[in-house]
Amino acid sequence: MKKQELDTRITETAKALLSYCRVRTASSFEAEDLAQDIIVEIYKSVDNLRNEEAFYRFMWAVAGNVYKQWCKNKAKNKIYPLSEDLLAEESIEEEKGDIFLLRRELTLLAKKYRRAVILYYIENKSCSEIAQILSISESMVKYLLFKSRQLLKEGMVMERNYGEQSYNPKSLSLLFWGKGE
């Protein structure tokens, strides 16, 4: 069979082939891929065609064989997604740890840094609004946010060693000497 005649016959049956593939696949992308595979295989196998009048029977036989092979390959390479529960549990545990670290580091920040971070990230204020609230320049707000991010990053990766004072603080007593003038 001549290439031009083969091209014409395949063009005539392209819609039927695509419909065949769409019925058998889950998405239009898979259908197009399968149809392309079938057409490529027809071009490769056309030399085995003995009777040109039996082209359509030959084409559908090739389509069936390619589809069977496609199903086998798909079954071999089947991807089983992890259940959402497993992924959620892991990410929740990681998030809890990260949130704990972030809160800890926020409490350890100086008041001006902490206030700027809370206004910007939690209360969604702009730099100009924060500048008005804190009565500082906008560039100072940007500096405070920059420095806060640095301190938070450093603190979150740092391992802090807390002594007995962290969980069992001693009482503080103030002693005054002198007249107190």
Q: Are residues 44 and 108 in the same domain?
A: no
State the pLDDT at residue 180. Answer: 61
- Dihedral of alpha carbons 122, 128, 134, 137, sign: positive
State the pLDDT at residue 10. Answer: 86
User: What pTM did the predictor assign?
Assistant: 0.44
State the pLDDT at residue 102. Answer: 82
Enter the tokens of residue 126. Answer: 């702009």
Looking at the structure of the chain, the number of domains it has is 2
- The CATH number given to whatever domain includes residue 142 is 1.10.10.10
Q: Are residues 60 and 116 in the same domain?
A: no
Enter the tokens of residue 174. Answer: 């103030």
State the pLDDT at residue 55. Answer: 85
Mean pLDDT by 10 residues, the chain (181 residues): 83 89 88 91 86 86 92 78 61 72 85 91 92 94 93 78 61 69 62
Residue 165 in any domain: the answer is no
| Last-in-domain residue among 76, 98, 118 | 76
Q: Are residues 8 and 43 in the same domain?
A: yes
State the pLDDT at residue 38. Answer: 92
Domain interval for residue 50: 3-76
- The CATH number given to whatever domain includes residue 62 is 1.10.1740.10
State the pLDDT at residue 146. Answer: 94
Residue (of 118, 116, 164) closest to 137 by Cα position: 116
